[in-house]
Amino acid sequence: MKTLYLMRHAKSSWDFPELSDHDRPLNNRGRKDAPLMGRELASREVTLDLIVSSSAVRALTTATLVAKELEYDTEKIAVEEEIYKASKQELLSIIKNIPNQFDKVLLVGHNYTISELANMLSPEMVPTMPTAAVVCLNFNCGTWAEISRQNAANLFFDYPKNH
């Protein structure tokens, strides 16, 4: 059994036009929403074996804030530069190459690819994910290479405005 949590990064700031898109930080709402979603995951008794994040500042900050709420060692967050500009097929390839010792994985990425990937894998339609949204997919298989819509169950979809 493999469990995948797909999360769109929290709300980012546009207040620093001199920064590249990759280097944009979270805004105030994002800095509140990311730990909120971490607490919501904790309330669902979520435990993670691995967090994988885009290298973009807003995604890595989101991953770090969620990790702290889940008491996950932030030093163990795997940063994947490829996530930043990945297509849904490239994201799927990254996931399928996760070592099989990890059963419960959170991937923090960007729209529209994170929503597209969720819909490619989920047996049920997932709405376009707002910032800091999380979808949880459970796969009835033993390896990440085997995950597909055919062996998936959509356990939940949650986002900050639900709370």
Facing residues of 100 across strands? none
* Cα 13 from Cα 61, distance rounded (Å): 12
Q: Quick one: tokens of 78? A: 């795997």
Q: Which of 25, 132, 147, 2 is nearest to 69 (CA)?
A: 132
* Cα 111 from Cα 65, distance rounded (Å): 19
DSSP state of 70: T
* Cα 84 from Cα 125, distance rounded (Å): 24
- Peptide bond between residue 112 and the one before it cis (omega within 30 degrees of 0): yes
Neighbour tally for 17: CB within 10 Å: 6
Does 58 belong to an annotated binding site? Answer: yes
Query: Would you list which residues are annotated within the binding site for substrate?
Result: 58
Query: Would you list which residues are annotated within the binding site?
Result: 58
